[in-house]
Amino acid sequence: MIEIAVLGFGTVGSGVVELIDNNQEWIRRSVPEGIHVKYILDIREFPNSPYADRVVHNIDLITEDPEVKIVCETMGGKEPAFTFSRKALESGKSVCTSNKELVEALGTELMLTAKQNGMSYLFEASVGGGIPILRPLRNSLVQEEITTIGGILNGTTNYILTKMEQEGAAFDDVLKIAQEKGYAERNPEADVEGYDCGRKIAILASLATGRKADYDEIPCEGITKIAAPDFAYAKAIGRAVKLLGIARKLGDGSWSVRTAPFLVPKEHPLYPVSGVFNAVFVHGTMVDDLMFYGRGAGKNPTASAVVSDVVELAMHIGVPLRSAWNEEKLTLANSDLECHRFYIRAAAEKAPALQAAFSSLEQIDLGGQGGPETAAFVTDEISERTFAQCLGEIEVQNVIRLL
């Protein structure tokens, strides 16, 4: 048996332990000796759990046990996850994680620690929940120059937007359901303000380019300004509202990376992706367009992605796997120069001011159903800077970019 330890017995950690037990038969096709969870580290006790006897509270028990070969970090947050992961790597154990916050902020350092100690650091579950996306990027697509990557990267917000659009549900009610279903972060602000999506697109851009994209430099907007009329106006122009994280290589070699709600057209493969599902769109210069689709959050899909790393690590004991990116920083483009068409929703009385400010505005017609008090428009393709200059001090209710 290959012995492993799981750090954190929350939604994902408990899913990992259960999956390893339940799917042992399938795991043994790749790891014939089998995989066994020897320790579960948590500050809590779980007296009613069938795994109660494996729960420990001291990381040293794990790092000092030479039988433990792999550590799964499913604690979330930067600390103590970082310290525990580093300690595990320094103690000769490979580590895998679902912790996107840690991977984005300190993954470079942990990959270096892994390399220095002949170990590996993997994080398939940090992006796209159950979707296999990092492994294809590390393996199947190594020969490709990737020029676009991104898509719907947060299950909670896609679930909220879908329920608001299809059922007219209220934002707070749907968020509560997403929390109950185990989709949302402990602090759901990370989901709804776009931070989680921002971290995931930073990880994807880093993997695609081999250089570290800095999350703090990525413009980030969430979905808290989206309201019922936005769905109606979007539908009237054949589009749906989706929170996207997108990274694109520009002509000068720099990368444009952004997290924001977009109006996605019907013809685009991301348009029908609804509910908790995520989809990652990739363009490679040779392979052309690819899309990876699956459940972006939830206990079992995320646990499945974590265990895929455990199995890969178990198949490579003593063989360190290549780091996903190096320490070089990815240069991001000046986001002010990025061009889009913009949707603007405003009080009807602002319409003359908007029409005077923008040289060309197309009004969205809801056939009289939008009510007399609101108006919505779409601009021509203009830069972020020009848009901000034209809008000036005019007060609007919402602005969304068109994909």
Residue 123 binds ligand HSE, judged by CB under 6 A: no
DSSP string, 96-129: EE--HHHHHHHHHHHHHHHHHTT--EE-GGGSST
Does 184 engage in binding with ligand HSE (CB under 6 A)?
A: yes
Q: Among all residues, whose Cβ is closest to ligand HSE?
A: 156
Q: How far is the CB of 181 from ligand HSE (least distance, A)?
A: 10
Which tokens in the block code for residue 344? 């603007």
Per DSSP, what are the bridge partners of residue 144?
none
Q: Does 183 bind ligand HSE (CB under 6 A)?
A: yes
Closest by CA to 273, choosing from 247, 241, 302, 249, is: 241
- As measured in angstroms, the least distance from the Cβ of 370 to ligand HSE is 31
Residue 99 within binding range of ligand HSE, rule CB under 6 A? no
**To which residue do tokens 């332990």 refer?**
17
Q: Which stretch binds ligand HSE (CB under 6 A): 30-38, 62-70, 150-158, 214-222?
A: 150-158
Applying CB under 6 A, does 185 fall inside the site for ligand HSE?
yes
Which residues does residue 183 pair with via DSSP β-bridges, in sequence order? none
Which of 305/400 has CB closer to ligand HSE?
305
Q: Specify whether 176 is catalytic.
A: no
The tokens of 351 are what?
């319409």
Select which of 69, 93, 163, 200 is catalytic.
200
Q: 370: which DSSP letter? A: T
At its nearest, how many Å lie between ligand HSE and the CB of residue 202? Answer: 13
Which residue number, 194 or 284, has a Cβ lying nearer to ligand HSE?
194
Closest CB to ligand HSE among 264 and 378?
Answer: 264
What is the pairing mode between strands 146-152 and 255-265? Answer: unpaired
Choose between 73 and 191: whose C-beta lies nearer to ligand HSE: 191
On whether the CB atoms of residues 398 and 227 are closer than 8 A, the answer is yes
Part of the chain binding ligand HSE (CB under 6 A), chosen from 14-22, 148-156, 309-317, 354-362 = 148-156
Name the one range near ligand HSE by CB under 6 A: 184-192, 208-216, 231-239, 318-326.
184-192
Strands (DSSP E) contained in 250-332 are 255-265, 277-284, 288-295
Q: Do 68 and 37 contact (CB within 8 A), yes or no?
A: no
Choose the binding region for ligand HSE from 14-22, 152-160, 336-344, 378-386 (rule: CB under 6 A).
Answer: 152-160
Binding flags for ligand HSE, 186-205, as an x/- string (CB under 6 A):
-----x----x---------
Lookup result for tokens 């600390």: 79
Beta-sheet pairing, 55-56 with 68-73: unpaired
Among 11, 97, 99, 154, binds ligand HSE (CB under 6 A): 154
Nearer Cβ to ligand HSE, position 240 or 297? 297
Q: Which of residues 264-323 bind ligand HSE (CB under 6 A)?
A: 296-297
- What CA–CA distance (Å, rounded) separates 127 from 142? 18
Q: Is the dihedral of CA 121, 126, 128, 131 positive or negative?
A: positive
Residue 312 exposure: Cα atoms within 13 Å on the Cβ side: 25
Active site residues: 200
Question: What residue ranges bind ligand HSE (CB under 6 A)?
Answer: 129, 154-156, 183-185, 191, 196, 296-297
